[in-house]
Amino acid sequence: MKSYENIDIEFKEIYVDDIKKEVIAFANTFGGTIYIGIRKDGTVVGIDDPDYVMLQVANALRDNIRPDIMPFVQIKTIEEEQKPIIEISVQTGTGRPYYLQSKGLKPAGVYVRRGSASQPLSDEGIREMIVQTSGKSFERGRSLVQELTFSSFEHEMKERNLETGLSQMRTLRMIGEDGLYTNLALLLSDQCEHTIKVAVFQGTDKAVFRDRKEFSGSLLQQLEEVYQLIDLYNKTKATFSGLNRIDTRDYPEEAVREALLNCIVHRDYSFSGSSLIHIYDDRIEFVSLGGLVPGLSMEAIFMGVSQSRNPDLAAVFYRMRLIESYGTGIGKIQRLYDDMKEKPKFETAPGAFRVILPNQNEAGVLTVQVENKAEPREILLPSTCEQILLEYVRDRGYVTRKSAEELLGSKSTKAFRILKQLVEQGQLKVEGRGKNSRYVANKEV
């Protein structure tokens, strides 16, 4: 037999254990034939005991490849140049991806045919093959990792008086029809491979980092921990209208919550990258992978149309009362900014979706009702300003000129004038000189 190895032909001079990889590669690709007893150059050498070799091959394939590949394999002895050789015919299997049981659904265990070589398939390729073969969405596909634990999931379910167990996990589609964990289970497990990266910048660009952190674990754990971090940077600004104090956070808490949930529930988890959250002085940006679901436009979204990329994940979040109903998040964010000068932005690009929440304490002053007319105005009275600064000194021990400007939301001249008045009244005294000066309580008062 003078021929050459090709995408569908493989030669082996003798039986070797690696023949399992060749069979897997053919079954995962377009099928092919392996001949044992032929050298790489096509020279027929034959084999001494074909019956024994056929038994070796059958046992190796049956015991080491999953799912069962034998229905798609035919092993027989043929004669070539009057010498016995083994012919192993492999069809494309219906249970792809086939893999080595000892390696699992990982590149080290899954092979495909590329030219005349059998090569490992990447994690992304394995996931795509699962979706193509099963006809199911990513979240209903078989998880590549089956050794999963669910401490965060079980804790959150218990907090809401919801039962957990095999029956409930099947109902939630965390366990598939084959009895194995699905990708949805992986996302909710402690071993979730997807992360959220949060970066905090000084100013309004990426020139200077202040903080950065990557969150891993169950999506439920990430949701809680990321929200807590954002909450630390969500400052409160106090203003006054007459005797009434008005506390305004930089970002409406509900808007932050909805944007974060949108980032988690609607991202495309077939991508291996992280979701991104960038916190600047004047805005927060939430970037999730995947862009819009095919067939859905931004215009449709603003009309309230919702087509979830991960309906099973959304159903779990709905069951846990983390979301109210599908398609309401963006509308809620918009309503929370109705009275603000700067509005939230929603942007899409191939492979990504971004929500931008403006800092409402940076975007403009609040409007207050004055003689039945809504108009922005400076609403801090001098006596109230003095009270704010004195309370701050009692809490922190001192106040600087810069921090006074931030507290009062005023210009340097006004802040200095009020600090000077408090010194003249004997309420505060100055320590240090110039830029290093600070104002502390006068203990003699």
**Could you read off the pLDDT tens digit of each residue along the chain, which spans 445 residues?**
556 788 899 999 999 999 999 999 999 998 999 999 999 989 999 999 999 999 999 999 999 999 899 988 999 999 999 999 999 999 988 788 999 999 988 999 999 999 889 999 998 888 888 877 765 678 888 888 899 999 999 999 999 999 989 999 999 999 988 888 999 999 999 999 999 999 999 889 988 888 899 999 999 999 999 999 999 999 888 776 666 777 788 999 999 999 999 999 989 998 878 999 999 999 999 999 988 876 677 777 776 666 678 889 999 998 998 887 655 688 889 999 988 888 999 998 888 899 999 998 876 444 444 444 444 444 444 446 777 788 788 877 888 888 887 777 666 677 788 888 888 888 888 888 777 788 888 876 4
Counting beta carbons within 10 angstroms of the beta carbon of residue 350, is it exposed (0 to 12), middle (13 to 18) or buried (19 or more)?
exposed
Stated as kind and residue range, the H or E segment containing 114 is: strand 111-114
Q: Provide the token pair at 245.
A: 């104090």
Give me the pLDDT at residue 421, please.
Answer: 82
Q: Where in the chain is the domain with CATH 3.30.950.30?
A: 9-127
Q: Provide the token pair at 236.
A: 């409160």
Radius of gyration over every alpha carbon of the chain, rounded to an integer in angstroms: 33
Q: Provide the token pair at 280.
A: 């600047």
Q: Where in the chain is the domain with CATH 3.30.565.60?
A: 196-363
Does CATH place domain 196-363 in 3.40.630.30? Answer: no
Give the global pTM: 0.57
**Distance separating alpha carbons of residues 391 and 427, to the nearest angstrom:** 11
Please tell me the class of the 9-127 domain.
alpha beta
Fold of the 382-441 domain: Arc Repressor Mutant, subunit A (1.10.10)
Q: CB within 8 A of 410, min separation 6: which ones?
A: 378, 380, 385
Q: For residues 106 and 122, is the Cβ–Cβ distance under 8 A?
A: no
Q: For residues 429 and 440, is the Cβ–Cβ distance under 8 A?
A: yes
**Distance separating alpha carbons of residues 112 and 372, to the nearest angstrom:** 74
- Where do we find the tokens 């964990």? 181
Give me the pLDDT at residue 134, please.
Answer: 66
**Distance separating alpha carbons of residues 218 and 410, to the nearest angstrom:** 44
Q: For residues 223 and 286, is the Cβ–Cβ distance under 8 A?
A: no
**Distance separating alpha carbons of residues 337 and 24, to the nearest angstrom:** 56
Neighbours of 412 (CB within 10 A): 11
Q: For residues 35 and 11, is the Cβ–Cβ distance under 8 A?
A: yes
